[in-house]
């Protein structure tokens, strides 16, 4: 390990080649990145389009001809499996006069018939036919009027991503140093079998989509934003889940890792020691005591592992720009407008464990989205309100910069630092800037 400064860029001038540099400096970003519709519209093309964006999980479309409706930025899309099981992503936009052709969230369909005038498309996008074809001239060529396609769709161990960029690196290269963390998260399931539950916890807030990303890797806020939750946890004893955020967390064993390509992770696991310790330190949950008794009596050999996977993964993995793995949940950031965002929390089950473990996982997954997330969303809305002060131009992300002894870099370029370092913001804004400036990797 060598001590090294993380990013040395200073950008103050607007240049025609890099018009966005004036908005992102090493230690701060400009407020208009959160308030300006023009910026938002550019992001929807250049960030949500020119890099890999999380679309869906394979377990949401398990069989041939199944599909799930989702979005790529503002573009409605349908991720489909064809009859051979191959994945596709088509724009949910009729080639005739632009109506969405699929209005279901998920299901099984070999084809989609547009509800407006009945044009029908295969689940791979090709136009099957338009009603009453005698109304079209001899030059009408069906092969020209298929649904548009997301040009590159790839899955990494069940996580499906798409991009419209031909020049973006391969998905595994883009995930890069985030891959081992994603692998850890997936491999908590025996044989890596993760199943996204059919329903989701959805919350909308009046604020910019990046506020969710700013917060996801932020180890600075929990002590203050989630005070009521921490007070409750500390009443139960010193080591209860998350209470470690409340006591000068930079002195503790937790770290944040800047993983490159805009990705980052907070590792909470060093707060727990040995098998069974994650479970032992959970906050109260309905049925917890009965469940533990049952697991210990039915599976005495394997009880600690089963109990630990019933609790959260204890990492917060942020994959730029829209995928957050928090505990056992997959959270997706969906921008709706410059000041409107939807967050979807998908709960997950895992294969290869007794049914009771998944029941308990559901209790765990009801906890933070219901108890902690409203604190965060209230902050997002209050930041957005504060941003209306146009005379105050900057949002700071300078915590941890030039602090001696905090940052170390490993041989792969991953920077590890104290958990309240705002390195996660500086890291993703570097990627944001590259995309907005249209610079090659
Ligand atoms: S808009 Fe789809 S058939 Fe007319
Ligand atoms: Fe939070």
**C-alpha 224 – ligand 2 centre gap (Å):** 9
Q: Which residue has its alpha carbon closest to ligand 1 atom 3?
A: 117
Are 140 and 279 members of one domain? no
The pLDDT, as a whole number, for residue 284 is 83
Q: Which ligand sits closest to the CA of 331?
A: 2
State the closest ligand 1 atom to the C-alpha of 114, by its place in the atom list counted from 1. 2
Ligand nearest to the CA of 118: 1
pLDDT for 7 equals 37
Edge-first strand listing for the sheet containing 152-156: 53-57, 159-163, 152-156
Q: Ligand 2 centroid to 255 CA: how many Å?
A: 16
**26 inside domain:** no
pLDDT band at residue 426 under the 50/70/90 scheme: very high
Q: Could you list the residue range(s) of the whole structural domain that residue 76 is in?
A: 54-156
Distance 96 CA to ligand 1 centre (A): 5
Per-residue pLDDT tens for 26-41?
999 999 999 999 999 9
Domain count, the chain: 2
Determine whether the shortest distance from the Cβ of 117 to ligand 1 is under 6 A.
yes
Q: What is the pLDDT of residue 239?
A: 65
Task: Indicate if the pLDDT at residue 322 is higher than 60.
Answer: yes
The ligand with the least distance to the CA atom of 94 is: 1
Question: Pick from 89, 122, 156: which residue ends a domain?
Answer: 156
pLDDT digits (tens, 9 = 90+) for 363-398: 999 988 888 999 999 999 999 999 999 999 999 999
> Do 82 and 152 fall into the same domain?
yes
pLDDT at 286: 84
Instruction: Band the pLDDT of 15: cuts 50, 70, 90.
Output: low
Ligand 1 pocket, mutate which of 97, 100, 136 (most atoms under 8 A from CB):
97
Residue 119, ligand 1, Cβ within 6 A: yes
pLDDT higher at 234 or 326: 326
- For 80-114, write each residue's pLDDT tens digit: 999 999 999 999 999 999 999 999 999 999 999 99
Query: What distance in Å separates the CA atoms of residue 127 and residue 103, rounded to the nearest whole number?
Result: 18
Last residue of a domain, one of 103, 123, 156: 156
- For 319, phi then psi, to 5°, come to -110, 115
Confirm whether 14 is domain-assigned. Answer: no
Residues near ligand 2 ion, CB 5 Å cutoff: 376
Task: Please say if the pLDDT value at position 357 is more than 90.
Answer: yes
- What would the mean pLDDT of 243-249 be, rounded to a whole number? 83
Predicted pLDDT of residue 199: 85
pLDDT of residue 243: 83
Output the pLDDT for position 22.
92
Q: Has residue 189 been placed in a domain?
A: yes
Read off the pLDDT of each residue in 230-239 and give the average, rounded to a whole number: 77
The reply to whether 385 and 283 lie within a common domain is: yes
pLDDT band at 8 (very low <50, low <70, confident <90, very high): very low
**Does 390 lie in the same domain as 282?**
yes
Task: List the CATH number of the domain containing 151.
Answer: 2.102.10.10
Query: 211 and 273 share a domain?
Result: yes
My answer on whether 316 and 428 are in the same domain is yes
Compute the distance from residue 113 Cα to the ligand 1 centre, in Å.
9
The number of angstroms, rounded, from the C-alpha of 52 to the middle of its chain's C-alpha atoms is 12
Give the pLDDT of residue 16. 65
d(CA 262, CA 319) in angstroms, rounded, equals 7
Mutate to test the pocket of ligand 1, among 100, 111, 119, 146 (most ligand atoms within 8 A of CB): 119
Task: Tell whether ligand 1 has an atom less than 6 A from the beta carbon of residue 116.
Answer: yes
Is 38 a domain residue? no
Residue 391 lies in a domain: yes
pTM for the model: 0.94
What pLDDT shows up at residue 387?
Answer: 98
């Amino acid at each position: 390990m060598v001590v090294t400064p993380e990013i040395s860029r200073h950008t103050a001038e607007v240049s025609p080649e890099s018009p966005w540099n004036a908005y992102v400096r090493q230690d701060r970003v400009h407020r208009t990145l959160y308030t300006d519709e023009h910026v938002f519209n550019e992001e929807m093309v250049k960030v949500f389009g020119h890099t890999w964006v999380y679309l869906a999980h394979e377990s949401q479309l398990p069989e041939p001809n199944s599909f799930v409706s989702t979005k790529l930025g503002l573009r409605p899309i349908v991720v489909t499996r064809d009859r051979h099981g191959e994945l596709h992503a088509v724009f949910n936009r009729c080639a005739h006069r632009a109506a969405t052709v699929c209005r279901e969230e998920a299901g099984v369909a070999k084809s989609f018939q547009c509800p407006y005038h009945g044009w029908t498309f295969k689940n791979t996008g090709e136009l099957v036919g338009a009603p009453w074809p005698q109304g079209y001239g001899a030059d009408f060529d069906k092969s020209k009027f298929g649904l548009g396609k997301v040009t590159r769709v790839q899955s990494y161990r069940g996580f499906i991503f798409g991009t419209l960029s031909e020049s973006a690196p391969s998905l595994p290269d883009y995930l890069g140093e985030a891959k081992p963390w994603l692998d850890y998260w997936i491999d908590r399931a025996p044989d890596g079998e993760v199943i996204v539950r059919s329903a989701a916890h959805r919350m909308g807030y009046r604020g910019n989509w990046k506020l969710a990303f700013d917060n996801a890797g932020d180890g600075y806020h929990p002590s203050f934003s989630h005070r009521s939750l921490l007070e409750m946890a500390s009443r139960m004893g010193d080591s209860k889940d998350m209470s470690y955020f409340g006591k000068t967390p930079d002195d503790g064993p937790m770290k944040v890792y800047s993983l490159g390509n805009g990705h980052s992770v907070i590792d909470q696991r060093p707060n727990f020691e040995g098998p069974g310790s994650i479970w032992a330190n959970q906050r109260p949950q309905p049925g917890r005591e009965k469940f533990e008794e049952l697991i210990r009596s039915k599976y005495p050999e394997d009880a600690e592992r089963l109990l630990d996977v019933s609790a959260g993964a204890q990492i917060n993995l942020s994959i730029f720009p829209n995928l957050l793995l928090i505990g056992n949940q997959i959270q997706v950031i969906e921008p709706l407008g410059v000041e409107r965002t939807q967050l979807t929390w998908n709960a997950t089950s895992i294969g290869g464990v007794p049914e009771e473990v998944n029941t308990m996982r559901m209790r765990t997954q009801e906890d933070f989205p219901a108890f902690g997330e409203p604190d965060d969303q209230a902050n997002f809305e209050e930041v957005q309100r504060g941003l209306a002060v146009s005379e105050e131009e900057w949002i700071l992300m300078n915590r941890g910069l030039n602090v001696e002894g905090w940052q170390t870099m490993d041989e792969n370029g991953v920077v590890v630092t104290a958990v309240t370092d705002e390195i996660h913001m500086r890291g993703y804004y570097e990627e944001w800037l590259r995309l907005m400036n249209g610079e090659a990797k």
